[in-house]
Chain A
Amino acid sequence: MIAALAWRDATIIVRTPGYWAAVGTYALLLGLFVLIWGGGLPVLAGSALDQIAVIQLGALVALLPWTAIRCSDTSTDEVRLLATVTASPPSLIVGVRCVVTALSLCALVCMGLPAMVVAQQMSAAPAGEIAAAVAPALGMCALVGILAVSSALMVPSRLGGWVLATAATAAAIYSVPSWASPSAWFVGLAVVGLAGLALLERGRA
Chain B
Amino acid sequence: MFKKALRAARASIAIAVTLVALPAPAAASADGVRITRAEAGLGGVVRAGRWAPVRVTLESLADDVAGELRVTWGGSTVRRHIALPSPGTWEFDLYIRTADAPPSMQIAVSSGSMNARSVTITTATPQPGAAFNLCVVSGQALSTDTSRCSAVMRPAELPHSVLGYDAIDRVTWMAQEADVPLAQRGALSAWRSLQGLDQAGDLSLTPSVTTPVVRAGLPADTARLVTLEIGGLVTGLLAIGFLSTTRALRLGNACLLAGTAGAVGIAAAAGTGRIGAPDPIHIRHASLLQQIPGTPSSRLTVRGIADFPAFGAFSVTLPIDAAMLQTSGPSAREERVFDEAGHPRFGGRYGLGARRGFSAEAMLDLQPLAVMSSEKRVTVSNRSALHLLGCRFGEGFASGGAITLRPGESVEAERVMDGIGPVLTCRHEGAPLTRFDGGDRQIESTGTTVIAVYERRDAPPVDGLTDRHEAEVGR
A122-B353 contact, Cβ under 8 Å, with A15-B244, A16-B245, A114-B266:
yes
Q: Is B238 an interface residue (CB 8 A)?
A: yes
Assembly CA distance A27 to B217 (angstroms): 19
Q: How large, as a class, is the contact surface on chain A?
A: 35 or more
Q: Is A19 an interface residue (CB 8 A)?
A: yes
Assembly CA distance A123 to B352 (angstroms): 7
B242 close to A20 (CB less than 8 A)? yes
Chain B residues with a Cβ closer than 8 Å to the other chain, count:
39
Q: Kindly supply a per-residue 1/0 record for chain A positions 84-121, scoring 1 wherever the CB is within 8 Å of any chain B CB and 0 otherwise.
A: 00000000000000000000000100110111011011
Nearest-CB residue, chain A, relative to B308:
A124
Q: Kindly supply a per-residue 1/0 record for chain B positions 211-245, scoring 1 wherever the CB is within 8 Å of any chain A CB and 0 otherwise.
A: 00000111000010011011101100110111011
Assembly CA distance A147 to B311 (angstroms): 40
Assembly CA distance A30 to B145 (angstroms): 76
Q: A36: which B residues are within 8 A, CB to CB?
A: 217
A35-B234 contact, Cβ under 8 Å, with A110-B262, A113-B266:
no
Assembly CA distance A124 to B353 (angstroms): 10
Assembly CA distance A120 to B265 (angstroms): 14
Q: B360: which A residues are within 8 A, CB to CB?
A: none
Nearest-CB residue, chain A, relative to B264:
A114
Assembly CA distance A136 to B314 (angstroms): 33
A27-B218 contact, Cβ under 8 Å, with A107-B258, A111-B262:
no
Q: B216: which A residues are within 8 A, CB to CB?
A: 39
A24 close to B237 (CB less than 8 A)? yes
Nearest-CB residue, chain B, relative to A118:
B269
Chain B binding surface SS class:
helix
| Most chain B CB atoms below 10 A, which of A27, A36, A114 | A114
Q: A16: which B residues are within 8 A, CB to CB?
A: 245
A55 to chain B, nearest CB (A): 15
B226 close to A20 (CB less than 8 A)? no
Assembly CA distance A19 to B240 (angstroms): 11
Q: Which residue of B229, B245, B310 contacts A20 across the interface (Cβ within 8 Å)?
A: B245
Q: Which residue of A20, A28, A124 contacts B240 across the interface (Cβ within 8 Å)?
A: A20
Q: Is A178 an interface residue (CB 8 A)?
A: no
Assembly CA distance A28 to B229 (angstroms): 11
Q: Is B349 an interface residue (CB 8 A)?
A: yes
| Most chain B CB atoms below 10 A, which of A14, A19, A120 | A14
- Residues of A1-46 whose CB lies within 8 A of B: 7, 10-11, 14-17, 19-21, 23-24, 27-28, 31-32, 34-39
B229 close to A14 (CB less than 8 A)? no
Assembly CA distance A20 to B244 (angstroms): 9
Nearest-CB residue, chain B, relative to A8:
B251
A31-B241 contact, Cβ under 8 Å, with A114-B266, A118-B352:
no
B472 to chain A, nearest CB (A): 53
B247 close to A27 (CB less than 8 A)? no
A114-B242 contact, Cβ under 8 Å, with A24-B237, A121-B310:
no
B265 close to A28 (CB less than 8 A)? no
| Most chain B CB atoms below 10 A, which of A113, A118, A124 | A118
Q: A37: which B residues are within 8 A, CB to CB?
A: 217
A113 to chain B, nearest CB (A): 5
A20-B351 contact, Cβ under 8 Å, with A14-B251, A121-B270:
no
| Most chain B CB atoms below 10 A, which of A16, A38, A121 | A121
Assembly CA distance A10 to B265 (angstroms): 23
A131 to chain B, nearest CB (A): 13
A10-B251 contact, Cβ under 8 Å, with A20-B244, A114-B229:
yes
Q: B230: which A residues are within 8 A, CB to CB?
A: 27-28, 31-32, 34-35, 114-115, 118
Q: A120: which B residues are within 8 A, CB to CB?
A: 311
Assembly CA distance A124 to B242 (angstroms): 36
A133 to chain B, nearest CB (A): 14
Q: B116: which A residues are within 8 A, CB to CB?
A: none
A103 to chain B, nearest CB (A): 10
Assembly CA distance A24 to B237 (angstroms): 6
Q: A115: which B residues are within 8 A, CB to CB?
A: 230, 269
A122 close to B237 (CB less than 8 A)? no
Q: B244: which A residues are within 8 A, CB to CB?
A: 14-15, 20
Assembly CA distance A10 to B244 (angstroms): 12
B237 close to A121 (CB less than 8 A)? no
Q: Which residues of A contact B (CB under 8 A)?
A: 7, 10-11, 14-17, 19-21, 23-24, 27-28, 31-32, 34-39, 48, 107, 110-111, 113-115, 117-118, 120-125
6 contacts between A and B (CB under 8 A): A20-B237, A24-B237, A28-B234, A32-B230, A110-B262, A111-B261
Q: Which residues of B contact A (CB under 8 A)?
A: 216-218, 223, 226-227, 229-231, 233-234, 237-238, 240-242, 244-245, 247, 251, 254-255, 258, 261-262, 265-266, 268-270, 272, 310-311, 349-354
